[in-house]
Amino acid sequence: MEVNAIEARRLKKGFDGNPVLKEVNFTLKTGEVHALVGQNGAGKSTLVKLINGFHQRDGGEIRLFGEESHFATPKEAQAKGIAMVYQDLSLIPSLSVADNIFLTQSQRSALISNRDRVRQAEPILATLGVDIDPRQKVENLSVGEQQFIEIAKAMAMDARILVLDEPTASLSNNEINALFTVIRNLKSRGISIIYITHYMSDIMRICDAVTVLRDGYSVLETQTADTSVDALVEAMLGSKTDTDFVWERPATSASEAVPLLELRNVTTCDLDAVSLKVMPGQVVGLAGLLGSGRTEILEAIYGLTPIQSGEVRVNGQVVNIHSPRQAIENGINMVPEERRSQGLVLDFSVEDNVLMASFDRISRSMVLDKAKGQSMVEDTIKKLGVKTTGVTQPVRFLSGGNQQKVVIGKCLSTDAKVLLLDDPTFGIDINAKYEIMKIVNQYVAQGNGVIFVSSEYAEVGSFCDVIYVVNKGRIVRHFSGQRMTEEALLAAVQ
Ligand SMILES: Nc1ncnc2c1ncn2[C@@H]1O[C@H](COP(=O)(O)OP(=O)(O)OP(=O)(O)O)[C@@H](O)[C@H]1O
Ligand SMILES: [Mg+2]
C-alpha cells in the first residue's frame, strides 16, 4: 500500500491562549487533490502553516511520507518538498517574473545567470499555459497573473506537496480553467495537493477528497464522490441552511426620480463613452470578464483616473471628482479590489481601521468621541460576524476572510450615499457572504445606491436590479427589471 503524503493526528494550536485547532486529523494521500474547507477563521490557513513549519504546533503529530516531521521554518519544509502558495501573495513587485520564480532558491540561483533564469522560467510558464514574458516586472501583472507566478515558483522547487490557499479568489473564469488544467497535470505527475477554497462547486470539480474544519475539530473527512455541496455546507456551519437566496426589492420609481449617480459618455484612458445610472434603492451590477473595465469604471467615479470627456452627475448636479477625498465629500465611497494593500492598515487595531473612514461622524471639533466610536465598531463587527479576540486586536492577526469583513464594515459605517463594491465577497465564507449581502440590501432600502462588481455571475444575476455588461472599456448591453441566471449572464459577457 502506498504511504500517505501527510498524516496529521490530534493537532492542537492556539494563539495567546485562544485555541484555534483543538483536535484536528488530516490525511493527504499521495497524488490526490484534497480540499480543506471551513468558515472564515476556522483555522484552514493555520493548519497548513503547521504543516509547513510557519507555525509550531502545541500538540499532536505530523507524518510526512511515513516519517515523523517537525519543521522549524518553511525553508526546512521546502527542502522536504512542501511548497505553499499563501493566501496573500508574497511576490516582489519590482523584480522580474523569472527572478521571482527562482527567488526561494537563492543559493542555487546565485550561480546561474539572468539569461539562464529566464530560459528556465519559460518551460515552467509554458506548462502552466500562461503567456507571460519572464523578463517582465511582476508589478506590471494583474493579480490573476501573479497567482500563476506563485504556482510557477512552487513548481520550480520540485515540490512533492503543493498547498494552494484560496488560489481562485482573483482569477477570471478562463484563468480558473487554466488553473484546473495545471492541477490535473501536477496530479498526474504524482504531486499531492491541498486546496483551500470557499467555492463548493470547485471542490466537486477538481478535488478527490475533502476535510471540513469547524470549532477546532475536523468534523468531516470524505471522498468528494461520497458527499454533496449541501452536506459540506451543513458540516461547515453545523446546521442546515438554505443557500439559494432570493433578493426581492421594491421597484424604484425610476423614470421620475433623480439618479444618485449618473455617468454620461465618460471616457478615460481605459473607458470609452460609458453611460450608466444608479437610482435610489438600486443595486447596479457590472458584469464582464477580468480586465473588461469594471474596476476602471469604479476608479473613474472614485477620482482615481482622470476623466477626459463626458460628465458625472451626483443628484443631478455635474461634479468634478479628482481624488477619493472629493468622491467621499460627494457621498461616494469604495471598497477596492486589492483590499489588503489598499483598504487596511495591518498593524492598526480592528477598531482604528473601522473608525478611520468615519472620523467626522464620531468626532466633535476633532476630539474623538471614544465611547461612540467603540459602540459603532462593536455593532459593525457583530453584524458581520468578524471573528476577533476584541476590537483592539491588530487586523494582521485576523484570518483573510475576517480582514475582508473589516474593510467592508469600514465602508458601511460611513455616511456615503453610493457605495462602489469591487468584488466584496471574494474569500468570504457562505454565511458571511449572506450577511454582507443582507447589509447591502438594508443599505439600499434606506434610499442609497450601490454599484456591485463580482466575479461570481450567479451573485450578480440574483442580487442586482440593473446589470451593465462591460467589454473592452465599453458598456455593450444592459438588463433591468429581472433577475438573471448564471448561465444567461455568462453567455452575455462572452
Ligand atoms: N498570528 C496569529 N496571532 C493571533 N491569532 C491568529 C494568528 N493567526 C491566526 N489567528 C487566529 O486564528 C483563527 C484562525 O485563522 P485562520 O487564518 O487559520 O483561518 P482560516 O480558516 O484560514 O480563515 P479564512 O477563510 O478567513 O482565510 C482566527 O480567529 C485568527 O484570528
Ligand atoms: Mg485563510
**Tens-digit pLDDT string for the chain (494 aa):** 679 999 999 999 999 888 999 999 999 999 999 999 998 889 999 999 999 999 999 999 999 999 999 999 998 998 999 998 876 667 777 888 888 777 766 545 456 677 788 888 888 888 777 788 899 898 888 777 888 888 888 888 888 999 998 877 667 777 788 888 888 988 988 899 999 988 888 899 999 999 999 999 999 999 999 999 889 988 988 876 555 566 777 766 556 789 999 999 999 999 999 999 999 999 999 998 777 899 999 999 999 999 999 999 999 999 999 998 899 889 999 887 766 566 677 778 888 877 776 655 544 444 556 677 777 788 878 877 888 888 888 888 888 888 888 888 877 777 789 999 988 887 788 887 888 888 888 889 989 999 999 878 888 888 999 999 998 899 999 998 778 887 788 777 76
Whose grid coordinates read 454565511? 431
Residue 412 backbone phi and psi in degrees, to 5:
-70, -20
42 lines ligand 1 (CB under 6 A): yes
Q: Distance between CA atoms of 249 and 282, rounded to whole angstroms?
A: 8
Cβ–Cβ < 8 Å for 98, 118: yes
Nearest to 46 by CA among 20, 72, 22: 20
15 lines ligand 1 (CB under 6 A): yes
CA of 42, nearest ligand number: 1
Domains of the chain with bracketed CATH: 6-237 (3.40.50.300), 261-493 (3.40.50.300)
Residue 385's region, left for phi above 0, alpha for psi from -120 to 50, else beta, is left
Residue 115 backbone phi and psi in degrees, to 5:
-65, -40
Bridge partners for 488 per DSSP: none
CA of 18, nearest ligand number: 1
Whose grid coordinates read 510558464? 125
Residue 194 backbone phi and psi in degrees, to 5:
-100, 130
Pocket test of ligand 1: the residue of 89, 164, 194, 399 to mutate, having most ligand atoms within 8 Å of its CB, is 399
45 lines ligand 1 (CB under 6 A): yes
Count Cβ neighbours within 10 Å for each residue of 225-237 and write b for 16 or more, e otherwise: eebeeeebbbbbb
SS3 call for 415? coil
What DSSP state is assigned to residue 313? Answer: E
